[in-house]
Structure 1
Amino acid sequence: MNIKEKISVLPPLLQGEAQRLWEDFCQRASAMQQQLIERQASIAETLPLVWACSPFVARHCVQYPDLLENLIKTGDLLSPPDAYPSHLEDFLGDTPNEASLSQKLRLFRRREMVRIAWRDLAGWASVEETLKSLSDLADALIDGSLSRLYAQLCKQFGTPCDKNGVAQSLIVLGMGKLGGQELNFSSDIDLIFVYPHAGETVGGAGRARDNHEFFTRLGQQLINSLHTITVDGFVFRVDMRLRPFGDSGSLVLNFNALEEYYQLQARDWERYAMIKARVVAGDKKAGQVLLNMLRPFIYRRYLDYNAFESLRNMKALIDQEAKRKGLENNIKLGAGGIREVEFTCQTFQLIRGGRQPALQQRHLLTTLAHLEKYRYLSPTVTAGLREAYLFLRLAENHLQAIDDRQTQTLPDDELNRSRLAWSLGFSDWAQFLAVLEKHQALVHEQFQTVITPLDAQSGVNHSVSPWLTLWLRVASAVSDETQKTLFVSAGYVNPDEALAHLQRVAQSHALQKLSRQGRERLDKLIPLVLEMVSELPQKDIALSRLLDLISTIAQRSVYLALLIERPAVLRQLIYFCANSAWVAEQITRYPLLMDELLDHRGLYDMLKPNELDNELSHLLQHLPADDLEMQMDCLRQFKRANVMRVATEEIAGNMTPMIASDYLAAIADTLVRRALVMAWDYLIAKHGVPYCVVAGQKRPAHFCIVAYGKAGGIELSYGSDLDIVFLHDSEGESQQTDGEKPLENSVFFVRLAQRIIHILMTNTAGGSLYEVDPRLRPGGASGLLVSGFEAFQSYQHHEAWTWEHQALVRARAVAGESACLARFEQIRREVLSLQRDPEKLRLDVLEMRQKMRDNLNKTNSQQFDIKQGNGGIIDIEFMIQYAALRWSHQYPQLLTTTGVIPMLKRLAEQGLIPELACEQLSTAYHVYRAETHRLALQNQSAYLAPDAFNEHRQQVCEWWQMLLGDNKASPN
C-alpha cells in the first residue's frame, strides 16, 4: 500500500488536506526522496497520521524536503533526541554575526521540532520523552546562543569581572515548564537573567562598562536571537515577566539584589514560581550557588500552612480570568486541568518541602512519586493524577502541534477536533471528550480535597457560635456575667479559672502584638477550640493546656492557619493535650510536632524499628556534611517526631506500654548509632583511621557502645536517660591513627566518646537528645571514659562488684563494628556464666538492695514509690538479676535476653521459679510499667497513693522472700 492508499484510510474529514500536502511534496521533492519515504515502512506507515494531524509538520516537510530526507538518513527520526549541546555546537560552528547565529538557531529548531512532533504523533515517544526533548532543545538553543553572544560582546567591550578580577558570566534561570523540564510543544519560555557580582569590564577597546550595563545588553541580544520573527521563523517566544518587579524591573540583577528582593519584597506567587527554577544556560556552578541561597525563601523550615490560603487566592484569580476570557474548555486553566494537578503537588511541596527535602523537586511526576512514597497521597490517587496529567499533557502537545500555536483551548471546529481526537487514538470527538472529562473530574476532586478550607467542609459555623461571641467580648476586654454562665453550662468544674485564663491570654503581650492577619486567624481559632473542648469530659485541664499552647504559637500565624484549615488536626491536638501533659508540653515547646498530628501515616502506621535507620539517613542526606548544628537539630527533630508517634499511639490505646518501650529503645539505638557515625567521620577526617599491630599484623581498631539499665533491657520510657559504656578493641603495638595529625588510639577513642556525648547531650535550639550517664564503666566516675576489651574483661573478672555484674545482666551492645558487638556479648556471657557462691551472692544482692532502700526509696505514709518502694519495680529487677547470676552457669539460655519479662519466662521454663511466680511477677511488672508510662505522659513523678497496688506489692514481696529469704521487704 502506497502513501496515497494509506491516506485513504484516514477519517474522511482528514483525507483532503493530507492528500493535497502529499501531492505538493511529490512536486517539490525528488523521486529519490519520495522512494526513500516509501521504502521506510515505519515512516510511510505513520506519515498520513502525522501530516493529517499536524499541518505544521507537513508544511515544513513539503517546503523543505531535504529536512525530512536528512532526518530519515541519519536515523534521527526513529531515535530519541540525545546530546543536543554537542549536535548544536557542530551545527552552529562559527557564527561571525548575530544574523548568522539567528538563522542557524531557527534552522536547527525547525528540524528538531519536526522530529519531536513526528515521534510524538506517531506514538514512538512517551509523553515524558517529548517534554524532556523539548526542554533539552530549549536549553541547548539558549546556551548555544548565549555563549556566542557573550564572546562577541566581550570582544567589543571587554570581559565583565568582579572587584577581584574574576570573570563573570550571565546565568539564565528557566522557570515554569522549562525549569521543570516539562516544556510543551509551542510554549513560551519564562526566563530570569542573573549575574554573580557587581564590577566592570576589563580588556575592552573603549571605556570600561559596568557589569549591569554589559549583562543588560547581553540579555537584550539573547532575547532578540530567540524571540524575533524572521523569514526563518522564531526560536522561542521569551517571557521575562517572572523577574523581580516584572516588566518594570531591571532585565538583569546580581545575586545580592535578587536575594534581597526575594527576602523582602517577593509575593507568594513568586515563591511558587521558584519551585521550578533551574539553571538552563550560563555558569551552572554559580547558578546552583544562587539556587541554594534562595532555597530558604522557597521551602520554609516550618510547616507552611499559609500556602493553602495563598494557593486558593491564586487559583481563584486564574478561575476568574478563565471565566472572563471564556476559557472553560482550556485543558490547562479550566477545572480539572493541568494547573490543578500542578497546584495539588505544589501545595504539598510548599507546606512540607522544607521538612521533607525529597519533595524539593521541579519535575511534577517525580514529585507525585514521592507523595506516594511518603504516603501523603494514596497509590490510587497518585496513579489517577499521573494518568490524568500524562493524558492532559499529551492532548496539549497534539493540540499545539497542529499549527505550532500556543493554545490549550479545545477546538470548536470539526476539522481540528477530528485531528486532535484521531491523533490521540480516538475514533471521534465524543469518545475523546468522555475520557477527558473522566480525567478532569478526578483531578478537580483531588484538587478540591487538598485546597478547599476544611472548616468549610466540616460545617463549622463561626457566626452562630456562642463561643465566638464570648471570645470577641473577652478579647475586647468586655466583661459580663453571661461569660461565666457559658462555662458553667458547658460543665466546667472551675468556670471562674477557665474564664480568667482566657482573659489573661486575650490581654497578653504576645496577642496584643499580632498582625491584622494573625488576629483574624486567632478570632477564628479560639472559638473553635472553646467549642471542641466543651465536648470533652476533662474540660478544665484541656482548655488550660490549649490556651498555653496557643499563646506560644500565636506569633507564628502559620500554625494558626494549620489548625483552622484542618479541624481534624485540631481535634486530635485537643484530645492528646487533654490526655497528656507531656504531649501538651512537647508541642508547646516544639510546635513543629503538630505535623505528626496531621500526618496520619505517622500516627497510625509506625515505622518498624529496623526502618528507623533508613528514615534518619534519608533526612540527613540533604544536609551539609560539615554543618554539625544542622545535623544535630535533625537528630532532635527525628527523635521528637518518632517519640511523639509512640506517645499518641499509646494514649489512643493502640500500643501497650511494653511495645511502646520497644519502639522508644529502637529510636534511642538508632540515634546512638548515628551519633557514633557522625563522631567517627569527623575524627577520622582530622586524624585518620586508628590502627594497631597484633602478632605482626596491622589491622583497624574498632569501637562499640554498650547500653545498660532501661536502654539495655529495651524498657525505655519517655524522658529516660541512657546508661552507656564505651569500649574499643585496640591492642598490641603501634596503636595510632594514620592521618596527617595522628593520635594515640587511646586519645582518639576518648575524643570519640566525648564527641558522641556532645552530640547526644548538647542543648541546642532543638533541645537535647538524651541525658547520658557513663558511670557504669569500669571504675565508675573515676575510671577511664573508654576501656579496651582486655581491660574491661579483666576488670569484670577480678575487680567488679556484684552489683556491677547485676548491671551486666541488662547490658546490650547497641552500636559499633559487628566484631566488637560480638566480642562484648562473648565477655558478658563469660562473666555472667561464672559459678558463684549462692550464699555470698544472695547477701551481696540484699546488701545492695538495702542501700538503695535507705537512700533512694521515697515511699512514706503519703505515697508509694513505684520504682524503689518495697514490692516495686526494682525488687522484680533484682530478683531477675540474682537468678541470672545464680543459675546462668547451668542454664546459658538465661543470657539470651536482657528483658525482665522474657527472663521470667525462661526461669519458669527451666523450673527455677514456679510458674505462678512468673505469672504474678510478670503481671505486676506490666502494671507498674503501664503506670510509670501513664505518669510520665502526665509529667508526674512515679509516686502513687500509699495503698496503691497492694495486691501486686504483696505478691512481689512474697516471691522476694521465697527467692532471697529477706523478710525486710514488706510492702508496708
Structure 2
Amino acid sequence: MGDSLMETVPEALRLDAKRNWEQLLASCDDSTRAWYEAQAGDALFGPRLIKMLACSQAFFELLRQQPQAFREMAETGALEASDYALTFDEAACSSADELDRNLRRFRNRQWLRIVWRDLNRLADTHGTTGDLSRLAETCLQAALDFHHRELAAELGEPHSRDGVPQQLVVVGMGKLGARELNLSSDIDLIFTYPASGETVGGARQVDNQQFFIKLGQRIIASLDQRTADGFVFRVDMRLRPYGQSGPLVINFDAMEEYYQDQGREWERYAMIKARVVAGDQEAGADLLRDLAPFVYRRYVDFSVIDALREMKGMIRREVKRRQLQDNIKLGGGGIREIEFIAQAFQLVRGGRELGLQERSLTKVLDELLALEQLPLEAVKELKAANLFLRDTEHAIQAWLDRQTQQLPREKKERVALAWVMGFDGDWQRYYAALNSHRERVAEHFEAVIADPEKSDEIELSERPWEDLLHSADDAALLEELRDAGYDEAEEVARLTQAMLEGGTVKRMQSIGRERLYDFLPRLLDACTDAELPGRCYLRILPLVEAVLRRTAYLVLLIENPGALSRLVRLCDASPWISRLLARNPVLLDELLNEDSLYSVPDQEGLYNDLRQQMLRIPEDDQEALMEALRYFKLAHVLRVAASEIVGTLPLMKVSDYLSYIAEVVLGYVLQLAWQDLRARHGDLPGVSSDDVPFIVVAYGKLGGLELGYGSDLDLVFIHDVSSTDVTEGKRAVDGATFFTRLGQRMIHILTANTGLGQLYEVDMRLRPSGDSGLLVTSVKAFADYQENTAWTWEHQALVRARVVAGGTSLARQFEALRASVLGKARDEAALCGEVVEMRERMRTHLASGGSGEKNGQFELKQGLGGIVDIEFMVQYAVLAQAHRYPSLTRYTDNIRILESLQAEGLLDEMQALALIDAYKTFRSFVHRSSLQEEKGLAPAAEVADHRRVVMAQWQQWMTPGDTDKQ
C-alpha cells in the first residue's frame, strides 16, 4: 500500500493502519495477497480499504480470518449491491454444531459486508439498519427451522387440540421489530405459539408448551453462545410476559390475557415496535392484530400522560445518576430521547391516527408533521439528529464490535470516529456538531409531555370544591354554588351528587375516580365564566357521564386548561354543541388547537384534509374508512359551529361551509363505492375512473347551498351507460345493475350507523316517480321524465338542483338539460296558479293554515312572508322568465338568483336588496335557533318590516289575475 495512500490516514491512526495491512497480507495465500495488493492501488477501493483497517479493529480481525470470503464478495459485486439477497441453507447442516458454526461464519461474512458499506457511506443509515435486521431474521429463521425439524423427530409435531399443526412465532421487539438494528445490537425477542395441545408422532408425547420451550432454548443457544467462531446475536428475552420470572414461551391466549389484565404502560411503549420476525407469519400477524387495542386505545389516550411523564422523569434521573452524558443513546439529547418523543405521540394518538401505528421512527416523525403535531423545523432537526447519532453509534461499535454507545476516551478511537463521521479526524469539530444535535433533541424532549403548569386561562379558585364533593354535606355544596353565582344551583348539586353516588362511579377503578374528582372542581370553576354557570354546567354534565368509563378524556381537559375553557365557551353558547360532544367525546380532541377550532378551510382545503386522512387507512379496511369519514364530517361541522359562535365565520357563510363539507364527503363516498363495485364486478367497457358516467345531484338545501347543522340530503342519482353494456369481471353485471348497486352502496356508506353514528340522513324521494321510481335513473329517462311527466313542483325543485359529485361530462350534460327544462316557455297565469296552490297546501299542512305568528313569535320558514314564500317567488320567477332570460338558470341559491333577477331588470334594486336582506335576516335567526336547539322562531316585532317586504312582493308577483306582474 503506497505512502501517498497512507498519508490520507490521520496521523494518530497511521501506524495501526500500516500494521493491520501487513498482518492482513500475511494471512493470505499468494493469490489472495496479490489480489489485495492490486486492489490497494485502485482509486476507489484502496482509500476505502485503508479507512476500514484504520477505523475498525473488529473489521480487520474478521477480514484476517476470512480474506478469501471478502475477496469473493468484492468480485461478485456484493459489496456494492444495495439489495443483496441473504440466504442460508440450514438443511445442509448435519448437526447442531455444524449449524452453529456455519451461522457464525455466515454472520461474520455479512457483518464484513455491512460494515464496509456503512463506514464507506455506500449505504445510508436506513440501509445499514435494514440490512442488519434482515441478517438477524435470516439467522433466526434458519435456527428455528433446523431445531424444529430435529426436535419434531424426537418428540413429534405439535398440534392444537383440534389437530391443527403448530409453529413457533418469534416476535421481534425494539430495534429488530422496527428494522433499525445497529452493528452490535442484541435482539429482543418474545416466543409464542397459537394454541395448546400435544405433539403427535414422536417417541414420546409432550404438551406444546414443553416442545416450544425446548425449541426456544435451542434457538437461543445457536445464536447467543460464544464459541471459537464468535456469536451470531446476543438474545434478550426479558420483554416477554412476566419477564425473567415467566415461562420462556406461552400461547396466544395466555399472551392476550396477560396484556389485558396485567400489561403496564411501559409494555405498551415496548409493544409499539413488535413485529413477527420468524416462524408462523400469518398466525403472528393475527396475534399482533388482537393485541393492538392494548397498545393503541381507540380514542386519543391522554390517560397515558402520567405514565409517560414518569418515564421521562426516570430517563432524566438515570442520566444524572449514572452520569450518562457521554452515552449517545441514553444520555441527554440522545437516541432514546428521540424515540421517546415519537413513541409518546404514538401512545397518545395512535388509536385514532392509524398512520402513527408505525414501527419506523422516520415514518412516525413524517406522520407527526402531516398531522401538525410537530412543526416542520422540529421534524427536520429530530431526523437529522437521529441519523447523526445512529451513524455515530455504528462508528463506535465498528471499532471493536462491542455493544456500547459510549463516546470514546482514547485518542485513536476518537480520531477514527471523527474520520468516519466526515470531520477528517478532527475530534473537536465532530464533538461540536454532536452537541449541537443533542441540544436540539433535548429541547424537543423537554417540550413533549411537559410538566403541568398553572394555566393563565383557568386558575383554580380557592373554593373548597374538592372537599365538598368528597363530603356528604349537600347543603354546604349548595351554599357554595349559590355563592359562586350559579343559577339552577339546586339542580347542579342534585345531579352532581347523583352521579357521584351512582353505580357507574362506584364501579370505577380508583384511578378513574381520582381523575373525576380532580376534574369536577376545575369544571365548576371554569363554568363561573359562563353567562349562566348552572345552565352551562348542566349542559356539560352529560358529557362527563358519557366518559366515566373512558376517563382519558377527563385527563385531556385536566392537562389542557385551554381546551376546558373552550368547552365551557361553546357549551355556554349552544346546547347543540354540548349534545354533539356528549354523543361523540372523541371530538374533544378538536378543542386542543384554538387556531384550527375557530377557522375552517375552503373546499379545496377540506378535500386535501380528507384525502390525507384517508390515505393513512388501508383501502380494504371499510370500517375504519367509514369511521374516518364520520369523524371528518363531525370535526369540521364542529369547527363551523365554533367559528360561528366566536364570530370568525360570517353568518351567511355558515351554510356555504356546511354544504362544502357535504360535497367533499359525497365525492369521497362515491369514490369508495366506485372502487368497491369495480373490485366486485370489474370495469365497464370504455368507462374511465377519471370521468365516471354517474352523477350525484343535490336538491333542496344542499342544492341551494343552504345546508343547516342537522339537514338531511335530498339526492338524485343519474347514470349514462347502456343497459346492454356488461362489466368485464368474473361476477359480471349489466350497466344499469352496476350503477343501481353503486347508488345502494353510497346510501349504505352514508346512512349506516357506526360508533360515530350516520354520515347523513338521505332522502331520495325527489327522483323521477318518487319512491316508486328507480333508485338510479339513466340521463335519457331523467330527461324524458322532466320534459313530459314532471309536475310543476318538481320543476320548482329543479331550480335548486346541482351536481355535487361524479363525472364532469355527465355533469355538463345535466346542466344543459336543467337549463333546457327550466327555460321552457310556460303559461304564466297557469304556472302562477299552480305555484300558489302548492304554497297554500304546504302552509296548510305544515303551519296549520295560519300566518305563522303566535304568542309574539313568528315561524320563519312556513309563516306568511317568511323563507318559503321567498323561495316560491324565486322559483316562479325562474320558471316564468328563464325562456327570455337564460341567465336565471345559472345559479341554484336564492340570493344569487335574486341578484340575477335584478340584473335582468325583473326586480328593481330596492326590491332586490329588500328581499335579499329579508332572506338573510330570516336565515340568521334559523341558524341561531339550530345552535340553541329551538324551533325556527323569531320575535315577530323584530322581523315585521322584512315580512311586509316579502308579502308586498308576493302580492305583486303571485296574486292570480294581477296584470302588473313582470
TM-score by length of 2: 0.91
2:569 to 575, 596, 601: 575
Matched with 2:916 is 922
Matched with 2:198 is 200
- Matches of 1:868 and 1:322, distance apart in 2: 72
Q: In the alignment, is residue 661 of structure 1 matched against residue 665 of structure 2?
A: no
Deviates more, 1:841-850 or 1:534-543: 534-543
**What aligned pairs does 1:783-822 form with structure 2 within 5 A after superposition?**
783=773, 785-822=775-812
* CA displacement at 1:523 relative to structure 2: 2.5
Contact 2:272 2:359 in 1 (8 A): yes
* CA displacement at 1:391 relative to structure 2: 1.2
Compared CA separation, residues 624 and 445, structure 1 to 2 (3 A): closer
* CA displacement at 1:156 relative to structure 2: 3.6
* CA displacement at 1:860 relative to structure 2: 2.1
Matched with 2:558 is 564
2:436 to 435, 438, 443: 438
Matched with 1:405 is 402
Contact 2:832 2:960 in 1 (8 A): no
Matched with 1:231 is 228
Compared CA separation, residues 457 and 39, structure 1 to 2 (3 A): farther
Q: Secondary structure at the match of 1:84?
A: coil
Compared CA separation, residues 716 and 663, structure 1 to 2 (3 A): same
Compared CA separation, residues 898 and 7, structure 1 to 2 (3 A): same
Q: Secondary structure at the match of 2:79?
A: helix
Matched with 2:5 is 6
- Matches of 1:457 and 1:4, distance apart in 2: 68
Contact 1:175 1:273 in 2 (8 A): yes
Provide structure 2 residue ranges, at least 5 long, that are not aligned to the other structure: none
Matched with 2:521 is 527
- Matches of 1:128 and 1:744, distance apart in 2: 50
Deviations 1:506-553 (A, max 9, x none): 444433433221222122222222233323444333222223322322
- Matches of 1:459 and 1:624, distance apart in 2: 40
Deviations 1:243-262 (A, max 9, x none): 11111222222222222222
Matched with 1:54 is 56
1:418 to 412, 415, 421: 415
2:355 to 339, 358, 365: 358
- Matches of 2:692 and 2:366, distance apart in 1: 43
Q: Secondary structure at the match of 1:814?
A: strand
- Matches of 1:957 and 1:9, distance apart in 2: 96
Q: AA paired with 2:49?
A: L
Matched with 1:542 is 536
Contact 1:661 1:715 in 2 (8 A): yes
* CA displacement at 1:489 relative to structure 2: 5.3
Matched with 2:22 is 23
- Matches of 1:161 and 1:193, distance apart in 2: 17
Q: Secondary structure at the match of 1:241?
A: coil
Q: In the alignment, is residue 646 of structure 1 matched against residue 640 of structure 2?
A: yes
* CA displacement at 1:213 relative to structure 2: 2.4
- Matches of 1:888 and 1:241, distance apart in 2: 80
Deviations 1:672-720 (A, max 9, x none): 445555566667777788999xxxxxxx996543221001112101000
Q: Secondary structure at the match of 2:331?
A: coil
Matched with 1:111 is 109
Matched with 1:587 is 581
Q: AA paired with 1:131?
A: T
* CA displacement at 1:487 relative to structure 2: 4.3
Q: Secondary structure at the match of 2:292?
A: helix
2:165 to 143, 164, 167: 167
Q: AA paired with 1:793?
A: A
Matched with 1:212 is 209
- Matches of 2:164 and 2:103, distance apart in 1: 30
Compared CA separation, residues 683 and 41, structure 1 to 2 (3 A): closer
Matched with 1:256 is 253
Matched with 1:871 is 865
Contact 1:455 1:564 in 2 (8 A): no
**What aligned pairs does 1:730-769 form with structure 2 within 5 A after superposition?**
753=743, 756-769=746-759
Q: AA paired with 2:462?
A: P
Compared CA separation, residues 751 and 841, structure 1 to 2 (3 A): same
1:714 to 688, 705, 718: 705
Q: Secondary structure at the match of 1:161?
A: strand
Contact 2:40 2:49 in 1 (8 A): no
Contact 1:305 1:562 in 2 (8 A): yes
RMSD across aligned positions (CA): 3.2
Contact 1:340 1:443 in 2 (8 A): yes
Q: Secondary structure at the match of 2:804?
A: strand
Q: In the alignment, is residue 839 of structure 1 matched against residue 829 of structure 2?
A: yes
Deviates more, 1:4-13 or 1:360-369: 4-13
Deviates more, 1:501-510 or 1:905-914: 501-510
Deviates more, 1:884-893 or 1:915-924: 915-924
* CA displacement at 1:386 relative to structure 2: 0.8
* CA displacement at 1:134 relative to structure 2: 1.4
- Matches of 2:595 and 2:287, distance apart in 1: 35
Matched with 1:695 is none
Contact 1:475 1:507 in 2 (8 A): no
Contact 1:511 1:551 in 2 (8 A): no
Compared CA separation, residues 600 and 384, structure 1 to 2 (3 A): farther
Matched with 1:303 is 300
Matched with 1:466 is 462
Q: AA paired with 1:520?
A: E
- Matches of 2:654 and 2:369, distance apart in 1: 27
Deviates more, 1:565-574 or 1:174-183: 565-574
Q: Secondary structure at the match of 2:301?
A: coil
Contact 1:961 1:967 in 2 (8 A): no
Q: AA paired with 2:236?
A: D
Contact 1:174 1:279 in 2 (8 A): yes
Contact 1:636 1:768 in 2 (8 A): yes
**What aligned pairs does 1:692-707 form with structure 2 within 5 A after superposition?**
703-707=694-698
* CA displacement at 1:26 relative to structure 2: 3.7
- Matches of 1:444 and 1:918, distance apart in 2: 64
Contact 1:357 1:619 in 2 (8 A): no
Deviations 1:244-282 (A, max 9, x none): 111122222222222222222222222221211112122
- Matches of 2:128 and 2:737, distance apart in 1: 60
Q: Secondary structure at the match of 2:941?
A: coil
Identity, in percent, stands at 43
Compared CA separation, residues 793 and 116, structure 1 to 2 (3 A): same
* CA displacement at 1:344 relative to structure 2: 1.1
Compared CA separation, residues 350 and 605, structure 1 to 2 (3 A): farther
**What aligned pairs does 1:486-501 form with structure 2 within 5 A after superposition?**
486-488=480-482, 490-493=484-487, 495-501=489-495
Q: Secondary structure at the match of 1:285?
A: helix
Compared CA separation, residues 536 and 186, structure 1 to 2 (3 A): same
Compared CA separation, residues 555 and 702, structure 1 to 2 (3 A): same
Contact 1:454 1:566 in 2 (8 A): no
Aligned length: 951
Compared CA separation, residues 649 and 3, structure 1 to 2 (3 A): farther
Q: AA paired with 1:927?
A: T
Matched with 1:697 is none
Q: Secondary structure at the match of 1:948?
A: helix
* CA displacement at 1:634 relative to structure 2: 4.0
- Matches of 1:685 and 1:47, distance apart in 2: 55
* CA displacement at 1:165 relative to structure 2: 4.3
- Matches of 2:65 and 2:767, distance apart in 1: 87
- Matches of 2:412 and 2:491, distance apart in 1: 76
* CA displacement at 1:913 relative to structure 2: 1.8
**What aligned pairs does 1:216-365 form with structure 2 within 5 A after superposition?**
216-365=213-362
Q: In the alignment, is residue 964 of structure 1 matched against residue 958 of structure 2?
A: yes
Contact 2:751 2:762 in 1 (8 A): yes
Deviates more, 1:799-808 or 1:666-675: 666-675
Q: Secondary structure at the match of 1:864?
A: strand
* CA displacement at 1:7 relative to structure 2: 3.5
- Matches of 1:690 and 1:50, distance apart in 2: 61
Deviates more, 1:216-225 or 1:246-255: 246-255
Deviations 1:709-748 (A, max 9, x none): 001112101000222234444666x588888888887777
* CA displacement at 1:293 relative to structure 2: 2.1
Q: AA paired with 1:50?
A: M
Q: Secondary structure at the match of 1:466?
A: coil
